[in-house]
Structure 1
Amino acid sequence: MPTFPNAAVPNRILVPLIVACALFMENLDSTVLATSLPAIAAELKINPIDLKLALTSYLLSLAVFIPISGWLADRLGARLVFRAAIATFALGSALAGFSSTMPELIGARVLQGVGGAMMVPVGRLVILRTVPKSELVGSLAWLTIPALIGPVLGPPVGGFITTYFSWRWIFWINLPIAALGIVLATLFIPDVRGEERTPFDSLGFVLSGFGLAAIVSGATAIGLEALPHLAGFAILGAGVVAFGAYVLHAQRAEHPILDLRLFAIPTFRAAILGGSLFRVGIGAAPFLLPLMLQVGFGMTAFQSGMLTFASALGALFMKMAAKPILQRFGFRTTMMVNAVVAAALMTAPALFTATTPVAIILVALLVGGFFRSLQFTAVNALGYADIDTARMSRATSLASVAQQISLSLGVSIAALVLEGLLAHRGGVELRASDFPVAFLMIGLISASSVFLFARLAPDAGEEVSGHVSPQPDPVTAARERA
C-alpha cells in the first residue's frame, strides 16, 4: 500500500476525485430521499411533513459527530478514518433500505450520519492539507464537480426507482459506490496526520453534542403531532443552555473540540456565519420542492425528479466558471451580489402553479442552481483562506458542524411554516397554496447573509481567489491621509 508524506500530493486531481466519491454518495442519497418522501410516507402511513425527521436525524447525527472527525484523523490517520467512515455509511444505507417503521428508518439514518460525519470532513481535510492555497479554488471545484453528479442524478433516479420499483432501492444503490470508494481510498489517499497530538476534549464533546442535538431535535419537534409544542420548546431551550455552557468551557479549554476562537479570523467568521444563513434556504429547498410538485401539483415522483434535477445541473455548470469570476471580482463583491441574486431565484418556486409551463420551471431551477453553486464555492474557499495548517482540522470540523446545523434548521423552518399554515386554516392535507409563503421565508433568510459578507475587506482572501484589488492613486491616497 503506497504512503505519502504529509506535504506530498500523489495527484492533485485524483485525490479530490476520490474524495468526491464519498461526497457523490452522500449527495445522491439526500437528493434521492427528498424526491421519495411522499412515497415513503404513504407506505409507512405517516404525514409527509413528519418525514422531516428522516432528513434532520441524519443532519443531527452529522452535527454531533463531526467535531471528533478532525481529532480522529490527526490521531489515527486520514486514510483509516476515511475508509471506516465509508463502510459505516454503507451499513446505515443497507439498514435504511430494510426499514419498515419510522423509528427503524430514523435509526438507520443516524448511523448513516455517523459515517458521513467522518467521511466528507476528513476527505476535505486531506485536500486542504496537501494543496497550496493558490490552487485551493481549483481543487475544491474538482472535488465538487463529480459530487454534483449526485444531485443531478438523484431526483430523476429517485423518482424513477420510487415510481417503477421501490423506494428501498434508493438506499441500496449506495453499496457499490461505497465499495469503489474504499478501494480507491486504500490505493491513493495519503495518510496525513496532525503534527501535534492533542488530548480529547471529552467534556466539550458531551456539552456540544448534547447542545447541538437538542437544538436540532427541538426545532424539529416543534409542530409534530406526536409531541406537545411545549415539549419541543423545552428541548430547544435545554440545547441552548447546554451549548451556552460549552461556549464558556471553550473559552477556558486549551484544546476545545470546537474551537470558537477561529471566529476571530474575519474571513472564517464571514464564511461560516454568512454561509450558514445562506444555507438555511438551501436546506429547505430539497424538502419543499418535491412536496409542492407531488402533493401540491399532483406529479409523480419521476416527473418531480426530472424537474428538480435542473437546479443541480445548473450548479454543475457554475463549477467551471467559479474560479475566473472570483479572480475578476474577488470574494467580497462576488458574495454580496450573488447572495441577493441567488436568494431571489430561491423564491422563484413561490410563483409556480400547476399550469406553469415545464420549460419555465426548468429554466428557473437551472439558473437558480447556477448562482447557488457560485456562492457555495466562494464560501467554502474563503473560510480556509487565512487558516494555517496547524488549525486546519479544527476549522474543518467547526465549518462542517455549522453547515449541517444550518441545513437542518432550513428543513425545520420550512416544515414549521407549512404546519403553521395548516393549523391556521384548520386543514389536514397540504395544498399548493401553502408553499409560496415557505419559499419566500427561506429566500429572505438566505438574502440576509449579504450583511455579513459586506463586512469583509475588499482584499479578503486574495491569495485564494487570485483577485488583485486596484491600488489607489498615490495623490488621492495622500490627500485622504492628510
Structure 2
Amino acid sequence: MSELAFGAMPQMARPNFRTTALIIASAMFMEQLDATVLATALPTMAKSFQVSPAHMSIALTSYLLSLAVLIPASGKIADRYGARTVFASSVVIFMLGSILCALAPSLSMLVAARVLQGAGGAMMVPVGRLILLRTVDKRDLVSAMSWLLVPALIGPILGPPVGGFIVSYFDWRWIFYINIPIGFIGLIFIQLFIPNTKEGRRERFDMAGFVLSGLSLACLLFGFEMTSRGTLEEAPMAVALLLIGVVSGAGYIVYARRPHRFEPILDLTLMRIRSFRISVVAGSLSRITQGAQPFLLPLMLQIGFGLSPVASGLMTFATACGSMLMKAAARPILKRWGFRATLIWNSVFSSLLYATCALFRPDWPHWGIFVVLMVCGFSMSLQFTAYNTIAYDDIPPNRTSSANSFYTTFQQLMLSFGICTGALVLTGSRLAFGHAGTTLADFSVAFLVVTAVSLLAAPVSARLPQGAGDAMSGHRARREATGEA
C-alpha cells in the first residue's frame, strides 16, 4: 500500500481536490501550450537559424523522443523518490530546458535543449495524474478529472493565436520564456499543497523492459511522423523505423510475459482488468480524432478560409469554451446516466459533431462555426473525463502507479498517431485527386476519416458492465433512491 510522506511539512492539511487538480493542470497547460505555440513559430525560427522550415521538424520529434522513452518509467521513479519530489523536479527540468531553448544559438543546440525539456514533460503529466489518483477520494474523482482536463485542453487551442502574436510582435524566444513565470508559481503551490506520496516497498528497476519499450515507442512515433509527410525520399527510413518499432514492441511483449521477480516497466497484465482494458482501447480510438482535430482545424481555417493565424486561433478557442462548460456538467451527467450509457452515446454524438467540420465552408457564419466547435469541445471533454476516470475503477491501490504509466503511454502514442493520421489522409487525398495544393475537399476527407475511427469506440464501450463506475458517479445511489434499481 502507498503511504503519505509530507517531508518537512507535517502540519500540511489535506488539500481540496480542486486545488490539487488545478495545480497539476497548470503544469499540463504549460507543456501543451509550449508544444502548439512552437509549431506556429517554426517558419520564423527556421529563418533565424538559416535552415529550411522542413529541417525544423526535428525540434518537435526530439521532444517526442524524450516522451516516448521516459513516460513508461515515470511511475517507478515516482514510487521510489516520492510523487511531489519527482513532480517538482520535472517542472524545474522543463523550465531549465525552456531557458536553454530560448538561448540556443543553433538548431543542434535547440534540439539538445528540447530533449531535456521533453524529459521534464515526460514526468509532469503522468506523475501529476498519479498524485491526483492517490490523494483524491473516489467519489470526487469525476469532478477532479474534469478540473484537470480543462486547462490541458485549453493549451493546444490557445497555442496558435499566442504563437502568432509572439512571432508577429516579439522575438520567437519569448515562446520559451513564458514558461518561466508559470513554472515558478507552480513550484510554490506544489510545495504548499501537494503531498509526497510514495510506495513503502522498493523493487528492482526493469532496465531491459525500459530499453525495449523506449526503443519501440520512439521508433513508432518517428515512423508515424515521417510517414505523415508523404515524401518518397523519406519513405525507406519511415518503413525501417516502423519495422524496428514493431519488432522491438513484439520483443517487449514476449519479455514481459515471462515470470519476473519484479514488475515490468509496462505491466501487460493490467489489460486483464475489464474496465481498464476497455478504457484503453476505446479511449485510443477516440484520441485519434482528438489528436487530429487541433492539427486539421487551424490549417483549414488558414489555408481554406484565408483567416490569419490569430483569427483562426480565436475561432478554435470555441473548443476550449465548451471544455470549460463541461467541468460543471460531467458529474451530474454521469450520475444521471452512468459511465456505460454516457460513453456509448456520447461517443457517437461527439464523432458526428466532429464530422460536421467536414462541411465547414467560408460562407458559413462565423458564429455558427463557433457554436458547433463549442459543443464539440464539451462533448469530447466529457468523453475523456469519463475514460480517464473509469480506467481506474477496478485498479487496486498498489497497482495505481503501473496503471497510470501504462495508460499515459498509450494516451501520448495515440494522440501523436492522430496527428500523423490527419496529415497522412490530407496528403493522400491531395495526391489521389490530383490537387496542386491542399483544398477544402481534402480537409473534408481527412475529418471524415478520423471521425470514422472514433465511431468504433461506441461498440467497445458497450462491453462495459451495467454498473461500471457507479461508486464514482453516484449512479447506483440515484437509481436506488428513485426506485429504478
Q: Report the TM-score when normalising by structure 2.
A: 0.89
Deviation of the 1:137 alpha carbon: 1.1
Label 1:357 to 1:169 Cα distance change in 2 as closer, same or farther (>3 A): farther
Deviation of the 1:73 alpha carbon: 0.8
User: For the residues of structure 2 that align with 1:40 and 1:337, how far apart are their CA atoms?
Assistant: 44
Deviation of the 1:462 alpha carbon: 1.2
User: For the residues of structure 1 that align with 2:358 and 2:67, how far apart are their CA atoms?
Assistant: 30
**Aligned counterpart, 2:3:** none
**Which of 132, 135, 142 matches 2:140?**
135
User: For the residues of structure 1 that align with 2:43 and 2:377, how far apart are their CA atoms?
Assistant: 23
Deviation of the 1:100 alpha carbon: 7.0
User: For the residues of structure 1 that align with 2:62 and 2:447, how far apart are their CA atoms?
Assistant: 23
**Aligned counterpart, 1:453:** 461
Residues 37-116 of structure 1: pairs in structure 2 closer than 5 A: 46=52, 54-98=59-103, 105-116=110-121
Label 1:57 to 1:379 Cα distance change in 2 as closer, same or farther (>3 A): farther
Indicate if the aligned counterparts of 2:228 and 2:420 stay in contact, CA closer than 8 A. Answer: no
**Aligned counterpart, 1:379:** 387
**Aligned counterpart, 2:362:** 354
1:157 counterpart = 2:165 = no
User: For the residues of structure 1 that align with 2:180 and 2:265, how far apart are their CA atoms?
Assistant: 32
**Aligned counterpart, 1:288:** 296
User: For the residues of structure 2 that align with 1:92 and 1:373, how far apart are their CA atoms?
Assistant: 30
Label 1:223 to 1:127 Cα distance change in 2 as closer, same or farther (>3 A): closer
Indicate if the aligned counterparts of 2:34 and 2:176 stay in contact, CA closer than 8 A. Answer: yes
SS of alignment partner, residue 196 of structure 2 = coil
**Aligned counterpart, 1:474:** none
Deviation of the 1:461 alpha carbon: 1.4
User: For the residues of structure 2 that align with 1:42 and 1:365, how far apart are their CA atoms?
Assistant: 34
User: For the residues of structure 2 that align with 1:438 and 1:39, how far apart are their CA atoms?
Assistant: 27
Deviation of the 1:13 alpha carbon: 3.1
Amino-acid identity (%): 48
Instruction: Give the letter aligned to residue 339 of structure 1.
Output: S
Deviation of the 1:105 alpha carbon: 5.0
SS of alignment partner, residue 197 of structure 2 = coil
User: For the residues of structure 1 that align with 2:355 and 2:99, how far apart are their CA atoms?
Assistant: 36
User: For the residues of structure 1 that align with 2:373 and 2:119, how far apart are their CA atoms?
Assistant: 31
SS of alignment partner, residue 205 of structure 2 = coil
Residues 64-463 of structure 1: pairs in structure 2 closer than 5 A: 64-98=69-103, 105-151=110-156, 153-222=158-227, 224=229, 225=231, 227-252=233-258, 253=260, 254-424=262-432, 429-463=437-471
Label 1:38 to 1:285 Cα distance change in 2 as closer, same or farther (>3 A): farther
Label 1:167 to 1:450 Cα distance change in 2 as closer, same or farther (>3 A): farther
Label 1:436 to 1:260 Cα distance change in 2 as closer, same or farther (>3 A): same
SS of alignment partner, residue 192 of structure 1 = strand
Indicate if the aligned counterparts of 2:7 and 2:196 stay in contact, CA closer than 8 A. Answer: no
User: For the residues of structure 2 that align with 1:218 and 1:145, how far apart are their CA atoms?
Assistant: 30
Indicate if the aligned counterparts of 2:347 and 2:458 stay in contact, CA closer than 8 A. Answer: yes
Where structure 1 has 5 or more consecutive residues not aligned to the other structure, the ranges are: 472-476, 478-482
Indicate if the aligned counterparts of 1:69 and 1:117 stay in contact, CA closer than 8 A. Answer: yes
The 10-residue stretch of structure 1 (452-461 or 23-32) with the greater mean CA deviation from structure 2: 23-32
Label 1:315 to 1:36 Cα distance change in 2 as closer, same or farther (>3 A): farther
The 10-residue stretch of structure 1 (12-21 or 364-373) with the greater mean CA deviation from structure 2: 12-21
**Aligned counterpart, 1:480:** none
Where structure 2 has 5 or more consecutive residues not aligned to the other structure, the ranges are: 1-5
How many residues align? The count is 472
Label 1:148 to 1:430 Cα distance change in 2 as closer, same or farther (>3 A): closer
Deviation of the 1:359 alpha carbon: 1.2
